[in-house]
Structure 1
């Protein structure tokens, strides 16, 4: 869930370009808040993921490109892993880039950062070449991913590495035995709505000239969850209740209402038993 605001396409929790600018800005700000919460809760797994990426690099990267960088969770992880690299970030949202700029300053990496505001559905921006490209929870949002992959291939130096990461559905927060099956049914309804839909990128990568070195699933299982998980669970559950009302049974809607009711003993923001479970699928692919 590192980011998803780089193209015109989007899933059920974001606005498209056809909406008024103020609505887009409000939606971007809301999504930025969720991304920042997500960073607090599941960000540490990125150190494992960037270590895996580093194991596939053929040389220490001098320039790292973060495509659809969002508020910079992935950018900061890449900066930690590749301490001498210049960081180039692309995102279509000025709100996201403002958050990223502030995060980079707070973490002392502003002098290593270049930023490009760009809608990749329109054109690839003039960002120069890179040794490592990173596209986390972003590639499936562009209208023509094969064209964007070809652009990334062209932007990589020979031997360069592309890492694509996708989220395997919404994270799960409820402990076993609490509203059994509720989150699974919500995930199924979200998938039926096209939320976070992505293909196996292997054939797409190979079609534009990449050689896939490895495809790997990274499991998330954080128990007990950190305090920020309560706010993340509340935010995500609120969105699911709003957007999935017609797809869920009356019983499931009532369960979500209890989880979201400040006066109910089940209220998510007061629970001390939450966990965080989910998975990410990642591809490492080289340019020849």
Structure 2
């Protein structure tokens, strides 16, 4: 059921049980901004959000070209990122955190949130896109954090051993880009210092931005977009080098990597209708990418509906209709090296 766009605003619901794995959330963050298997990945609530760029395969989008989109989506989710960083600070407790790795940093929005939460640490933005790392450097300078934030270009997971170890490793929508997800988590866990925490941002719920019935075309458009994206995402993963099908029970995978789970938490990003111009433009860009990437997977009726939504001169278009909102849930799974 599509969440109501005018409900109460929350930044984080109650913490779910530690074993909560969450839904794959392929339709949303930077979410999945937010999956790499299709151009709409930049709309994924998860890469979204903060990048999650790990390298290039035949199915990967042009991350450099998506830099503006990725940064804008991450900026929409700053409250979630700041709250997640504060939660990680509490999880690490008295441990002296001197180094933080942000794997798949993208434009550095998360890197900055982590640097603010851990003022005594060197925070390292790691990505393979030069354009995204340049945005991370520029952001750190604007925030007055250039002395504490460094950037490193690396392909993951192969490049991780050259990056050194850390008390906190954050990875945002990175693991699902790697063929063997379990092996990747084992590599990440090995870079933790004793007592350190690995935070894996994977899963959540698909992003919603319109009511179920929008008065144009057949109701339930977003559910059909979700289904088409899921198929595209599965096809993307099947083409990855060393692809291994894995049950995406993230707490269990963290245990298999030799870590002790310390909880999973799901955060809401809830921007109510009517959206401000920046958020509205972002939703339109998401829909445009969906229209491009799913053109072969949708019915003629649904494609016509998307064309109406993308008509900036129409009262039914996304830039003018009053019911456009932005709602997504992002899950972060954590575990400690004992």
Q: TM-score, normalised by structure 1?
A: 0.87
Residue pair 2:64, 2:129 contacting (<8 A) in 1 also: no
Counterpart of 1:140 in structure 2 is 176
- Is it true that 1:249 corresponds to 2:288 in the alignment? no
Task: Verify: 1:283 aligned to 2:318, yes or no.
Answer: no
SS of the equivalent of 1:44 reads helix
List runs of 5+ in structure 2 lacking aligned partners.
1-28, 42-52, 238-246
After superposition, residues 181-260 of structure 1 pair within 5 angstroms as 181-194=220-233, 199-224=248-273, 225-260=275-310
- Which residue number in structure 1 is paired with residue 192 of structure 2? 156
- The separation in 2 between residues aligned to 1:219 and 1:3, in whole angstroms, is 12
Q: Match of 2:119, SS? A: coil
Pairing 1:1-288 to 2, within 5 Å after superposition: 1-2=29-30, 10-13=36-39, 17=56, 27-58=62-93, 59-168=95-204, 170-175=206-211, 177-178=213-214, 180-194=219-233, 199-224=248-273, 225-288=275-338
Aligned to 2:5: none
Q: Is the helix fraction higher in 1 or 2?
A: 1
| 1:108-140 CA-partner distances (Å, limit 9, x unpaired) | 111111221111143324222211110111121
Output the CA distance in 2 between the equivalents of 1:231 and 1:113: 30
Deviations 1:208-228 (A, max 9, x none): 201111122223322133432
Per the alignment, in what secondary structure is the counterpart of residue 328 of structure 2?
A: strand
Q: Residues 101, 138 of structure 1: CA spacing in aligned structure 2 closer, same or farther, 3 A cutoff?
A: same
Structure 1 pair 254–228 and aligned structure 2 pair: CA distance change class (3 A): same
**How many residues are paired up?**
281
CA separation in 1, counterparts of 2:31 and 2:278? 18
Say if 1:210 and 1:63 are closer, same or farther in 2 by CA, change over 3 A: same
Mean Cα deviation higher: 10-19 or 97-106: 10-19
